[in-house]
Amino acid sequence: MTVIIFILFTIGFLMLTLKNIRWAIFAIAALLPTYLIRFSVLGLPFTLLEVMLVIAIVVWGVKHHGFTTHNERISKWRLPLMLFLIAGLASIIVAGSAHAALGLFRAYIFEPILFFLMIVSVLHDERDVRRVFVALGFSALAISIYAIFQRITGFHIPAPWEAERRVTSFYPFPNAVGLFLAPLVPIFFTHTLTSTKNKPSNSVILNWPIGQFSITCFFTITTILPLIAIVFAKTVGALVGLAVGFFFMGIAYKKTRLPTIGAAILLMLIISLVPTIRTPLVQKLSLKTWSGHVRLTQWKETLPMLRDHALFGAGLSGYPTALKPYHKATYIEIFQYPHNIVLNFWTELGLLGLFAFGWIIIRFFRLRCGQMSDVRCQMFSASLMAAMITLLIHGLVDVPYFKNDLAIEFWIIVAAATILKNSSSIIKSNYEK
């Protein structure tokens, strides 16, 4: 029965992709958690998300001739993307298990980059980009609603977090909830503010006309419920990242700059004057808690390992094995990653991969909305920057990229900023509206 459902789903998605490649992009964004549905084909591990990605990428390459459309959007990304791919290939050679490394290269680097190229080649303008985030909203709602349900009922919370009711949603650990949801919250919040200002023509999602009130309600819900889910997951790194991201959004405009600074000062005063808030927050931020101790210990053990493997790191999937000779704190398990965004990329992809990722981040923050006279477009662009800031701040103590859904989400954000940058010079293509 499961095989029949999978075959029918695959055929249906293929038909959808052949009919309209943009709908395939929206469907993938709406179904990102399906990477948790895993199976093997001829001994090779696959996920349902990966099946959709492969179908969409192949149809895009064959039917639409790859990234020949909107070539000007891609030109500035060629070199950093090429270096990122080369670093990934080198990491397969370095890794202890080439089979495992190849699977991670495919899921975290090769397919997400191709999906990024497909998005910037296929999607037309700001309206299409908004549709992608509407689709992502369905992923966020599914994760959030299940997380809130877990909090209320205690249903299916894994044993290590069951006692304190730290929700995990569909994931095996709580931080995954914040890693996926937090970068999306500033974007959904901005859509809530700007959806009422959209023209009727912009109130069309996937070719179905939807009233502006309904769109505003949808983005309001996708802002509030993920925030609640993050709080219930007790992911402090995500909350701190969101605070910094929203502060950036507030100071990005003259009209909101002073109120934002005033609100930040007021919040800091409240925290400093209320011991029940101040004490645990200071402990968390200064890494004085158990989780902070674990991370500090990881970093202290990772640095000597990197001194001996500075150029190439440990390779994809190679960190746990490479760290064993340096692991002295045996009361702490060896994790898959060092839980710091710099150390994560260094250990997995070497110095070249870390350099390429840094180049991608710098290039991202240099992007500006092409329609600078359009306040709505400027706000959208600022929300994407806030999303990336949230991701990077959380990444100081976690792993915000090396997971199937997180890698795709990262490149969707980069693709959205790239399209907005070129939104003043849209070259209309032949894809159906």
Quickly tell me which residue has 């600022």 as its tokens: 382
**pLDDT tier at 17, thresholds 50, 70, 90:** very high
Residue 39 resides in a domain: yes
Give the residue with greater pLDDT, 177 vs 126. Answer: 177
Average pLDDT over residues 278-304: 93
In a shared domain, residues 281 and 164:
yes
Residue 307 resides in a domain: no
Residue 416 resides in a domain: no
Classify residue 31 by its DSSP letter.
T
CA atoms of 137 and 132, how far apart (whole Å): 9
CA atoms of 285 and 119, how far apart (whole Å): 37
| 8 Å CB contact between 84 and 143 | no
Residue 238 resides in a domain: yes
In a shared domain, residues 233 and 138:
yes
With a cut of 50, say whether residue 428 has pLDDT above it.
no
Residue 422 three-state SS: coil
In a shared domain, residues 34 and 137:
no
Residue 15 resides in a domain: yes
CA atoms of 311 and 255, how far apart (whole Å): 47
| 8 Å CB contact between 226 and 180 | no
SS3 readout for 200-253: HHHCEECCEECCHHHHHHHHHHHHHHHHHHHHHHCCHHHHHHHHHHHHHHHHCC
Average pLDDT over residues 405-425: 88
Domain-terminating residue out of 38, 63, 88: 63
In a shared domain, residues 148 and 269:
yes
Highest mean pLDDT among 112-121, 254-263, 273-282: 112-121
Structural domain count of the chain:
2
Cα 212 to chain centroid distance, Å, stands at: 27
Closest to 243 measured CA to CA, from 221, 217, 269, 268 = 268
**pLDDT tier at 78, thresholds 50, 70, 90:** very high
Burial class (CB in 10 A: 0-12, 13-18, 19+), 4: exposed
CA atoms of 35 and 42, how far apart (whole Å): 18
pLDDT digits (tens, 9 = 90+) for 172-226: 999 999 999 999 999 999 999 887 655 444 444 444 445 566 788 999 999 999 9
Domain-terminating residue out of 387, 403, 422: 387
**pLDDT tier at 247, thresholds 50, 70, 90:** very high
Residue 254 resides in a domain: yes
In a shared domain, residues 170 and 277:
yes
pLDDT for position 57:
95
Distances (CA, A) of 34 to 48, 53, 225: 6, 11, 20
pLDDT digits (tens, 9 = 90+) for 296-354: 999 999 999 999 999 999 999 999 999 999 999 999 999 999 999 999 999 999 999 99
Share the mean pLDDT of the chain: 89
In a shared domain, residues 130 and 249:
yes
Which domain does 137 fall in, by range?
A: 125-286+382-387
Q: Which amino acid is at 206?
A: L
Bridge partners (DSSP) listed for residue 222? none
Residue 1's contacts (CB-CB under 8 Å, 6 or more residues apart) are none
CA atoms of 185 and 373, how far apart (whole Å): 25
Residue 400 resides in a domain: no
pLDDT for position 320:
96
In a shared domain, residues 144 and 20:
no
With a cut of 90, say whether residue 383 has pLDDT above it.
yes
pLDDT for position 431:
38
With a cut of 80, say whether residue 43 has pLDDT above it.
no
CA atoms of 153 and 147, how far apart (whole Å): 10
Average pLDDT over residues 371-387: 81
Quickly tell me which residue has 């340096």 as its tokens: 326
In a shared domain, residues 161 and 32:
no
Rounded to a whole number, what is the largest CA-CA distance in the chain? 62
Burial class (CB in 10 A: 0-12, 13-18, 19+), 206: middle
Residue 170 resides in a domain: yes
Bridge partners (DSSP) listed for residue 46? 39
With a cut of 90, say whether residue 367 has pLDDT above it.
no
In a shared domain, residues 23 and 172:
no
